[in-house]
Amino acid sequence: MTLATSRDGRVSARIVLLKGVDERGFRFFTNYESAKSRELAEHPQAALCFHWKHLPGAVQVRVEGRVEKLGAAESDAYFATRARGSQIGAWASLQSQPLADRAEFEARIAEIERRFAGTEVPRPPHWGGFVVVPDRIEFWYGADFRLHERVLYALAGNLWTRQLLYP
């Protein structure tokens, strides 16, 4: 999914892996020291966009809402399911920080592999999950001649409203 965040009036978007959807919202995991996490700490609102071009007519879903950190137990549980290489990478990467050259990163990976040789890799304290709690969800269905169908669901108090939008 595309995740859009903002900081100091500047919007930033990137692709992240959706790891779950439930009644709370849309979950993803990352380094809490990354640019996206710093942006979310400053402005805990985000937008998500999903696009399925190859479905009949093409489908897009847009989500907006507040962002909350997930608890340690949920982050621990997901981290334990990750491939060992991904776990090592979570420790080794200083995500979004400048990197002199690839050899520096590979040396960090090797050091972390030595540190956890023969043991399970614990979740780093700087890594965990977020949930985007939606207050707006728009479904966009592509149609010929750009005569798309758009349906917006918006949270008003405790109730969801439904409204058609012009394309």
Active site members: 146
Report CA Rg, the chain: 19
Residue among 25, 47, 21 nearest 36 (CA): 47
- Whole-angstrom Cα distance, residue 13 to residue 4? 4
Let me know: does 109 contact 120? Beta carbons within 8 Å: no
Let me know: does 44 contact 67? Beta carbons within 8 Å: yes
- Whole-angstrom Cα distance, residue 4 to residue 67? 11
Q: What pairing do the DSSP bridges indicate for beta strands 2-7 and 45-52?
A: antiparallel
CB neighbours of residue 103 within 10 Å = 9
